[in-house]
Structure 1
């Protein structure tokens, strides 16, 4: 089946103009982030693990530890684990095979600059259920100790995911120079470092497999849950069984599993996001999807393996309530937007009509802020970290990082809307003045 439904086309030279403005401080920023993301991923492990002496280790010992590691020729070698790499490769292959063989509808994405609509196969949730069924059956048959290998081989899995990210980034960059490739408007600067990082081609594919949306939804996102399950198993082994796993660990597992399952169940919604419609696929999205998500977002569960916290009924109820509030805002706001985009308005929401005929919501959640779904996301992020207590700020890294990420996305979206709507956007901002948090920001 063809992955693209053709409509009309223009000369490719007109469709792929040269990028004239940079994000992330241009090539220097892209270069620094390309090294910074892997460095931070390793740092969050060595700065918060039982093998390194705490979370964080004693501050006076850090310089000596760093010098010793960098001067030890075996240190870099120790980051590689052949067995973990083969496991990771098998996991990625499983996701590809599941995409190919599991049934799923083919849906059209938004209209591209060529006048075409790319088709995507929808079966991420089925892949998730299959992975959960296989892993659950394996654990029930062999016991929790059989699934602790992710915790024990953590660094090896991180390195394997980084290698996969690098391989894909170089592959899609090289393939973007083939005749007929549709480039991302922001990834055709002519600077190798920047274009390799930001993503030169808009929708790199292998046959009908769209590499960008596949990575966004399957290998890293589902692995996020599997990593958390491995952390639960490790704690269960140490505490004498699943019945003794702490309430804090169960909360983190439940919150994040539900978040992933919800995103995969609502898979079609991703095809209208900026990542899919606007951004190219390069090292930025590859390393984010494949390495950052499963091995940074699971920091709370990994911390709770060796720093086991019992919250008790009251604190459990409070954290649960915060997460439910965040989820309600996130899902209800997205529901309002999706209904409105599809020509429905069951809540009879008010809207502002631009001179181009576009309609922008000005009541309901979208009247309280321009990105109320981000507000719900932030509340959930806080709820995921609260079970770790307040002994260390490191387990709240995700909340801080996610806030910065969402503010950056909000600013990018506002800039795009300003270009699209012109003076109408200024009028709209007066009607909806708050960006993310109602009455605050």
Structure 2
């Protein structure tokens, strides 16, 4: 069986069908090796210190250039200007990005509200993959993000129309909220590390304090029935991203009496992403993030601060500039929206195909139905390579053409988020430039791990699906 490609129908009669997610004995030995710290990533302790210090500085710099320097990158004019230049930068941060009480109320209120909803809103219970560090025990995940998201939207609408909380204030307080988000990101990262070590639940540790804070100490942090890692991945960053776009639209409407197609595009794009994460939440427990990635600064800070305050630069630019500066032709708008929707279709269905394939491998054939369910989201009788490790490698659907079709579509969507403001500013393209670097690095980590885990079976898989991203290109 280890050297043949089979369909689910062929395996369905096998007595091990639906239980092969548990690896063989040799596979367990490999998993034990992979579930231990063997080498440093991200440049080791020095590299992660650079990331932890450098990325917040970069976020402040790009925000300042976007808001106070017409969206253009600025630098000291001369050696004599270095001191005054950094003085001006600091003054913007001190005055316009101070962690004021208003920002704490808004950001802290969102966190508490989302925790409350996650705890009390009914949800769909989804079993995760067997976790090697837990003796291949599977965890249950409460998937109620969709209901929580729509309740949040309804709450925000009521608060806005009654004047209790005007949504325009979100984008007007971007700097203040960003600083609070950074403080929370650092605080939770270090807090999670100390609590995990104090309770003796740390895994895969290097022994270097700052590196372990960055990578994380705990794998499955929980607050009652809430899996904090999954909760944070969906409920905070993408909710803020969406409301940032809605805030920009509200600001345009109050200023000009209409919403530009560019801002409408960002409202649609951010809604698609948020809704997809929420409606397909039961697929998240099948992902690398839940199964292997620990809950450290890399994940925590990025979801609390990085995503919501560095992915929406196009919204900030278009909300604060004359629409005549970035007005497109009708044909360009049609092409822009068509590109977004096409990329979204492939992203949504490729993620669905992979996650449901993993569920099929566990014997699950009935899937949750949420809006929108797109054609080809589930593969009937999927073809795969059965590995000696015990896992299966999908070679059907969009995954027959690329090892990471979801990444390709995801990156194209990120590019459109910059394109929606044209060439007015280079800063909104930060998302797509940064994202491609992250994806290439992530793929390298993933493929290296798979090569160790599957050995010759991985080589067979690479032969069956040679393209990492785009067939015939790369």
Is TM more than 0.5 here?
A: yes
2:67 counterpart of 1:37: no
Kindly indicate whether the alpha-carbon contact (under 8 Å) linking 2:283 and 2:352 is maintained by their aligned counterparts in 1: no
Correspondence for 1:125: 146
Distance 1:76 1:151, change over 3 A: closer
Correspondence for 1:310: 327
Distance 1:346 1:16, change over 3 A: closer
Identify which of 409, 417, 420 aligns with 1:376: 409
Q: Structure 1 residue 82: deviation in Å? A: 2.3
Kindly indicate whether the alpha-carbon contact (under 8 Å) linking 1:311 and 1:387 is maintained by their aligned counterparts in 2: no
Q: Structure 1 residue 101: deviation in Å? A: 1.9
DSSP 3-state at the match of 2:140: strand
Deviation digits for residues 191-210 of structure 1 (CA, Å, limit 9, x no counterpart): 00100011111122333332
Deviation digits for residues 324-383 of structure 1 (CA, Å, limit 9, x no counterpart): 211121122223323432336745554323234433233431121101111111221122
CA distance in 1, matches of 2:357, 2:459: 21
Equivalent residues in 2 for 1:146-157, closer than 5 Å: 146-157=166-177
Correspondence for 2:229: 212
Q: Structure 1 residue 15: deviation in Å? A: 10
CA distance in 2, matches of 1:304, 1:75: 20
TM-score norm. by structure 2 comes to 0.82
RMSD: 2.6
5+ residue gaps, structure 2: 1-27, 366-377
Correspondence for 2:240: 223
TM-score norm. by structure 1 comes to 0.88
- Number of aligned residue pairs: 421
Correspondence for 2:180: 160
CA distance in 2, matches of 1:90, 1:350: 47
Question: Which 10-residue stretch deviates more, 262-271 or 130-139?
Answer: 130-139
Kindly indicate whether the alpha-carbon contact (under 8 Å) linking 2:60 and 2:93 is maintained by their aligned counterparts in 1: no
Identify which of 288, 297, 306 aligns with 2:311: 297
Higher relative contact order by CA 8 Å / sep ≥ 6: 1 or 2? 2
Kindly indicate whether the alpha-carbon contact (under 8 Å) linking 1:325 and 1:379 is maintained by their aligned counterparts in 2: no
Identify which of 30, 37, 50 aligns with 1:19: 37
Question: Which 10-residue stretch deviates more, 268-277 or 307-316?
Answer: 307-316
Correspondence for 1:6: none
Correspondence for 2:341: 324
CA distance in 2, matches of 1:65, 1:82: 34
DSSP 3-state at the match of 2:119: helix
CA distance in 2, matches of 1:20, 1:264: 35
DSSP 3-state at the match of 1:292: helix
5+ residue gaps, structure 1: 1-9
Kindly indicate whether the alpha-carbon contact (under 8 Å) linking 1:224 and 1:298 is maintained by their aligned counterparts in 2: yes
Equivalent residues in 2 for 1:31-430, closer than 5 Å: 31-49=49-67, 52-56=68-72, 67-68=83-84, 70-71=86-87, 77-78=94-95, 79-80=97-98, 81-113=100-132, 114-115=134-135, 116-142=137-163, 146-183=166-203, 185=204, 188-239=205-256, 241=257, 244-307=258-321, 308=323, 309-343=326-360, 346-430=379-463
